Structures are given as structure tokens and as C-alpha cells.
Amino acid sequence: MTKKRVGLLVGRERTFPDALIARVAAVSSTVTAEYARVDLTAVDRPPAYDVLVDRISHDVVCYQPVLKLAALAGARVVNNPFWRIADDKAFGTALAARLGVPVPRTYVLPSKSYGEDITPDSLRNLTFPLGWEAMARDAGFPMYLKPHWGGGMRDVYKVRDLDELFRAYDASGRLTMIAQESIEWSAYVRCVVIGKTEVLPLRWDPTLPHHERYVGAERTMPPLDPGLEAVVVEHARTLCRALGYDMNTVEFAIRDGVPYAIDFMNSAPDFEGKFLPPAVFEWIVDRMARLCVELAEREPAPTYRWDALLAGRP
């Protein structure tokens, strides 16, 4: 019997993909995992995997069309490339609010600058002068300015008044930025969420250096209150179901006992072994391996908008 195949698309990371490949081999005799191989891709012959785990297409963008072709050919892709690529922080925030998950007040800003072919005439729909004062009165200071795609904490500014806001905005160039009320938190929680249902809530201190954020938070924050933890876990599930993410981290800033969703579209969360407590790394590898095996063995569920139209065709 030929084994079902899981392919991993990766960047520089080593510890997580190596551990995942080994774990799939350990838990399944019918499924095998390997680093996916991508050549020049004929559109009707994408890499033949039952499951693809995408850890890098946000940075290696040429993998994005390949992943979509693989999905069309029947692969289950983690995370769903169609959903992931459509998401942005402004939309996600609004969706969270509609689902009953508290979020900071958030605005979308027109870009500071544009390409040469965009003239003032091209921007006639924008209302100048823009309503900066009204926004500042509503969202208040301090405020965060950050790119609507997000990722890697790049171009994230915390501003304290209108002057700082304009300085940050002036530096944002052609990016589309959002402005967001700062949640001045007493605790911060990051949930690892696998398969939309398995949730591991962890204290995580974003003010510490990168490699200490999980481990150090056990020093800088008291343990999570169990009632609050249950709420956070439920919100994390709600967000991952709504966004269709099978591999994600979901962050909450806690203010006055209320968990506000801050960053919940981390489609390739950092699973580097040396930055995680060993038990956390083990939990992630275990849940990811089980998810890969389950997806490989399961009939593809209708996930994509053309599924119904293609049903029954060769």
C-alpha cells in the first residue's frame, strides 16, 4: 500500500520540521512526512502531496500559487492559502468583534505615499484633511500603528500623542497601516491553536527579548486565573474556526480582567525549539503530527469555493 504523503514547506527553521517529520513516522504506519520538493510547476501537475504544511509562503511568496494549485489538485493545505492570503488585521478585528471577542478600537488609514502613477487626482475619494483628531479622541492615546498585513512585529509603533502619531505615519511609506487603541495590559496570553480546537494558553511577555518571551513570562506574570483562561481558550477557538486556521497563535492582552484579541493571524507561528519550554515544543509537535495524519487519512472536506462545482468531475 502506498503511504499518504505530507510535505513541509519551510524557511530557515530546523528543529520543528525535523521533529514533525520524525513524529509522523513514529505515530503512523500509513502516512509519511518529508520536506516538500518544488520544481518548475506545471499548473496541472503541482507537487503531489496529500497534505502540505506551509511554514514560509508569507516570505517566499512564489510558493503561494503552488500551494493553491496543490489545493485544487486535492491537497489539504495548512494553513488554507486562500483564506490566509485574504486576511488582514482590520478585517480580523472587525470579525472578532462580531463574534463577541473583545478587541481594541481600530481604524484603517490611507497610505502615506503611493507609486509615481498615483497622482492627487487618483485619490479623489479620500477626504482631506483626514479626521485625525476625531480618531484620536475615539481610540485615545497611547495608540499602536501597525501594517494591516502584520507579521514579525515589523513597522509597529506605539505613539503617545498626535505628534508621535504623525511621525510614525510619515515613516510608514506605502504600507497600509491600522491605528489601534493600546490595551495597557496587566497580563498577556499567547495561545497555540492546532486543528482549530486544540488550545495551549501560555503566558507570553512581548516586552522581553525574543528568546525569553515564553520562559521569562513565568517570572514576570502571575499564573492565569482559571476562569479567565477558560474564556481565552474559547475565544481562541472561535477566532481560528472563523478564520479557518489550523496552525496559529492567538494573542490576548488582559486589561481589567477582559482579554482583548491583539494578534491572531500568525499563520506560521514561531515553533523554534530553543525559544519554547520543552513541554510546549513537545505539545506542538504532538498535535501537529496528529493533525497531519488525520488530514492525510481523511477525505478532503469541502474547503474551497470551487469544490461543489468540481464534484464528480475527473
Contact flags string 176-205 toward ligand ADP, x per CB under 6 A: ----xxxx----------------------
Work out how close the CB of 232 gets to ligand ADP at its nearest, in angstroms, rounded to a whole number: 15
Residue 146 contact, options ligand ADP, Mg ion, none, Cβ 5-8 Å cut-off depending on partner type: ligand ADP
From Mg ion, ligand ADP, none, interface partner of 262 (C-beta below 5 to 8 A by class): ligand ADP
- Based on the shown chain and the rule CB under 6 A, indicate whether residue 153 belongs to the binding site for ligand ADP: yes
User: Does residue 150 bind ligand ADP (CB under 6 A)?
Assistant: yes
Can you say whether residue 51 is alpha, beta or left, with left for phi > 0 and alpha for psi between -120 and 50 degrees?
Answer: beta
CA-based nearest residue to 202, from 142, 269, 291, 106: 269
205 binds Mg ion (CB under 5 A): no
* Least spacing, CB of residue 250 vs Mg ion, in Å: 10
The least distance separating Mg ion from the CB of residue 308, rounded to whole angstroms, comes to 35
Burial class (CB in 10 A: 0-12, 13-18, 19+), 45: exposed
Residue with smaller CB distance to ligand ADP, 270 or 294: 270
For 274-311, b/e burial (b = at least 16 CB within 10 A) is ebbeeebbebbbbbbbbbbbebbeeeeeeebeeeeeee
151 lines the binding site for ligand ADP (CB under 6 A): yes
Q: Which of 250, 263, 269, 292 binds Mg ion (CB under 5 A)?
A: 263
Provide the 8-state DSSP code for 51.
E
Taking the C-alpha atoms of residue 3 and residue 82, their distance in angstroms, rounded to an integer, is 27
**Which residue in 102, 110, 206, 300 binds ligand ADP (CB under 6 A)?**
206
Residue identified by cell 481600530 is 106
Which triple of cell numbers denotes residue 39?
A: 520544481
Cβ distance to ligand ADP smaller for residue 78 or 253 = 253
Q: How many CB atoms lie within 10 A of CB 92?
A: 21
258 binds ligand ADP (CB under 6 A): no
C-alpha cell at 51: 497534505
Gap between the Cα atoms of 116 and 120, Å rounded: 11
- Whether the CB-CB separation of 157 and 144 falls below 8 Å is answered with yes
Smallest gap from Cβ 204 to Mg ion, in A, equals 10
102 binds, options Mg ion, ligand ADP, none, Cβ within 5 to 8 A by partner type: none
What does 211 interact with, of ligand ADP, Mg ion, none (CB < 5 to 8 A by kind)? none
The residues that touch ligand ADP, with contacts defined as CB under 6 A, are 104, 144, 146, 150-154, 156, 180-183, 206, 251, 253, 262-263
